[in-house]
Amino acid sequence: MTKTPFDLSGKVAVITGSSRGIGRASAELLAQLGAKVVISSRKPEQCHEVAENIRNAGGEAHVIPCNICHRADVEALVGGTTRHYGKIDILVCNAAVNPYYGPLLDISDEAFDKIMGANVKSNLWLCALTIPQMAARGRGSVVIISSIGGLRGSTVIGAYGISKAADFGLCRSLAGEWGPEGVRVNCVAPGLVKTDFARALWEDKERLKRRCATTPLRRIGEPHEIAGAVAYLASDASTFMTGQAIVLDGGLTTAAV
């Protein structure tokens, strides 16, 4: 039987922030499609739990803990993966932070720098360490998990939105630079998804009620609903797509107000 373009057999995928939420769902789906996945986050115990679940389901997973705020950790992640599997075909930049919730003009320099460093600069580090080896083989896919926060304003997570808008710019520029070498770079932009990371938003019952009322699907998303887009961008099903963003928000950004 002919393989589908979604078949990832023989591919090696690194997914940051993959011990939970969207990262975990993405790692599990990529493994299900045949990829060898590297599970990475700050907490080794949670990483090993995810990897064990993937192995129990018949997939292949390796653990390399990484704090994306530290360049040495990022270098160890890429170097460790290359030593273990010999290559990286797919990079999913999913890990992010948001240490501040409130009016934008009240944010401290420390919090702002942490957000921009973790959500933008670390992605640049990962790409700089990974894309050249993809280019040497003439193919590869980078998926950056951005957010509709980069498309809209916010009264409570403005700095996070700024960082996610920057990720769109990073994606477009890298796509232009590396497209001639066969490397594709795209973004996924989720709306509100039921993850621990977004808990402050969806546990606020009034805010959640307003969000669902203005979302055509009348609900928020689940991590596995984002993973499908990651798998599409990682696979040969999307070989003519680069520099783009897939928005998965239940229709929120298209709804009339």
Catalytic annotation, residues: 160
Distance CA 220, CA 22 (A): 13
Region of residue 194 (phi > 0: left; psi between -120 and 50: alpha; otherwise: beta): beta
* CA pair distance 156, 137, nearest whole angstrom: 43
> Crossing angle, helix 122-137 and helix 158-178, to 10 degrees?
20
Cα–Cα dist 246/226, whole Å: 10
Q: How far is residue 229's CA from residue 57's CA, in Å, rounded to a whole number?
A: 21
Complete edge-to-edge strand list for the sheet that includes strand 90-93: 60-63, 36-40, 12-16, 90-93, 140-145, 183-190, 245-248
> Can you tell me the distance from the alpha carbon of 18 to that of 193, in angstroms, rounded to the nearest whole number?
15
